[in-house]
Amino acid sequence: MSLFSEKAESLIPYVPGEQPKDGVYIKLNTNENPYPPSPTVIEAIKTAVGDKLRLYPDPECSELKKVYADYMGLSEENIFVGNGSDEVLSIAFQTFFMGKKDVLMPDISYSFYPVYCSLYDVVALEIPLKEDFTIDTSDYIISNNGVIIANPNAPTSVALSRDQIEGIVAANRGRAVIVDEAYVDFGGESAVPLVNRYDNLLVISTLSKSRSLAGLRVGFAVGNKVLIEGMNRVKNSINSYPVDLLAQVGAKAAILDREYFEKTRLDIIKVRDQTTEQLLKMGYDVLPSKANFIFIKNPEKNAEYIFKKLREKKILVRYFKQERISDRLRVSIGTAEEMEAFIKALAEI
Between CA 31 and CA 10 the distance in angstroms is 29
d(C-alpha 195, C-alpha 164), whole Å: 15
Q: What is the pLDDT of residue 17?
A: 79
Write down the pLDDT at residue 2: 82
The pLDDT tens digits of the residues spanning 317-332 come to 999 999 999 999 999 9
SS3 content of the chain, % helix, strand, coil (to 5): 40, 15, 45
Running DSSP on this structure, what letter comes out for residue 128?
Answer: P
Cα separation values, 340 from 31, 243, 264, 276, 347, Å = 17, 37, 18, 12, 11
Q: Is the pLDDT of residue 347 over 80?
A: yes
Cα separation of the two ends of the chain: 50
Contact 328, 303 (CB under 8 A): yes
Query: What is the model's pLDDT at position 11?
Result: 87
Check pLDDT > 70 for residue 1.
no
- pLDDT tens by residue, 86-108: 999 999 999 999 999 999 999 99
Question: Span 28-35, mean pLDDT?
Answer: 97
> Of 320, 189, 24, which Cα lies nearest the Cα of 331?
320
Of 245, 253, 203, 217, the closest CA to residue 61 belongs to: 245
Spell out the alpha helix ranges (H) of 11-103.
Answer: 39-48, 62-72, 84-92
Residue 214 near residue 251, CB atoms below 8 Å:
no
Q: What is the DSSP string of 90-127?
A: HHHIIIIITT-EEEEEESSS-THHHHHHHHTT-EEEEE
Q: Which amino acid belongs to residue 302? A: N
With H, G, I as helix, E, B as strand and everything else as coil, classify residue 59.
coil
pLDDT-above-70 percentage for the chain? 100
> Count of alpha carbons within 13 Å of 327, Cβ hemisphere only?
9
Model-wide pTM > 0.85: yes
Q: Which DSSP category does 349 fall into? A: -
Structure confidence by residue, pLDDT tens digits, 240-265 = 999 999 999 999 999 999 999 999 99
Q: Please determine, for residue 110, whether its predicted confidence score (pLDDT) is greater than 80.
A: yes
Quick one: pLDDT band at residue 6, thresholds 50, 70, 90? confident
DSSP structural state of residue 25: S
Closest CA to 240 of 83, 84, 75: 83
Asked whether residue 212 carries a pLDDT value surpassing 70, the answer given is yes
Amino acid at 167: G
As a whole number, mean pLDDT of residues 79-84 equals 98
Decide if 103 contacts 148 (C-beta within 8 A): yes
SS3 194: helix
Taking only the tens place, the pLDDT of each residue in 174-186 is: 999 999 999 999 9
Across 71-82, average pLDDT: 98
How confident is the model at residue 253, as a pLDDT?
Answer: 98
- Strand, helix or coil for residue 80: strand
Q: Please check whether residue 331 is in contact with residue 342, taking contact to mean a CB–CB distance below 8 angstroms.
A: yes
Polymer length of the chain: 349
Give the amino acid at 181.
E
Residue 15's pLDDT is: 82
Give the three-class secondary structure for 62.
helix
The H helix count followed by the E strand count for the chain is 11, 13
Q: Distance between CA 197 and CA 203 in Å, rounded?
A: 13
Q: Report the candidate in 190, 156, 184 with the shortest Cα–Cα distance to residue 288.
A: 156
